[in-house]
Amino acid sequence: MFLIIGLGNPEKQYEKTFHNLGFLAAGDCAELLHAKFKKKECEAIVAEGNLKGEKIIIARPLTYMNASGRAVKQLMARYKAGPKELIVIYDDHDLPKGHVRVRPSGSAGTHNGMRSVIAETGLSDFARIRIGIRDEEVDIPLINYVLSEVKKEDYPLFTDACHRAAEAALAIAAGEKFDLVMTKYNG
């Protein structure tokens, strides 16, 4: 069993913002597994799929980004998932736009959603897949930037990055060696 969680904000007004790239990647995971987001539980909307005989739970927290950890903690308890079964996908301003970075563990960096996940779960040794959003040409406060809409000309770049992030998450869930997943998808 794997728990794949895409971080974002639940309201429609945030749908096309940088902070919702985790939600979009979670949607790509569900699509690849032919799963639908049908039920609400543990302060999240959840899709359930199957990959090589493994149950895969894909979730989008409904707690808003800065309280994502509440939903993650509840989902981990509900599905009896440990850190080795958890994969979190999220946007990251520390990476250039469109880059994907897969890591087996780490810190929250500048990301408040990840700070919440680490604080609530008490864990940092779980897989994370970061989608880079930093644009060197944009000079506005980070809080304004992450809640701004992705520029139309950048849609293809971010659509591709979200899809690669989803593929990386499913590769991990399918049991591919972590080093190989990092080699294939990082960059």
Catalytic residue numbers read 19
**How far apart, in whole angstroms, are the C-alpha atoms of residue 160 and residue 187?**
12
**How far apart, in whole angstroms, are the C-alpha atoms of residue 167 and residue 169?**
5
- Partners of residue 54 on adjacent β-strands: 51
149-187 b/e (C-beta count within 10 Å ≥ 16 → b):
ebeeebeeebeebbbbbbbbbbbbbeeeeeeebbeebbe
Tell me if 100 sits within 8 A of 185, measured CB to CB. yes
Q: What Rg, from alpha-carbon coordinates, does the chain have?
A: 15
H-helix or E-strand containing 63?
none
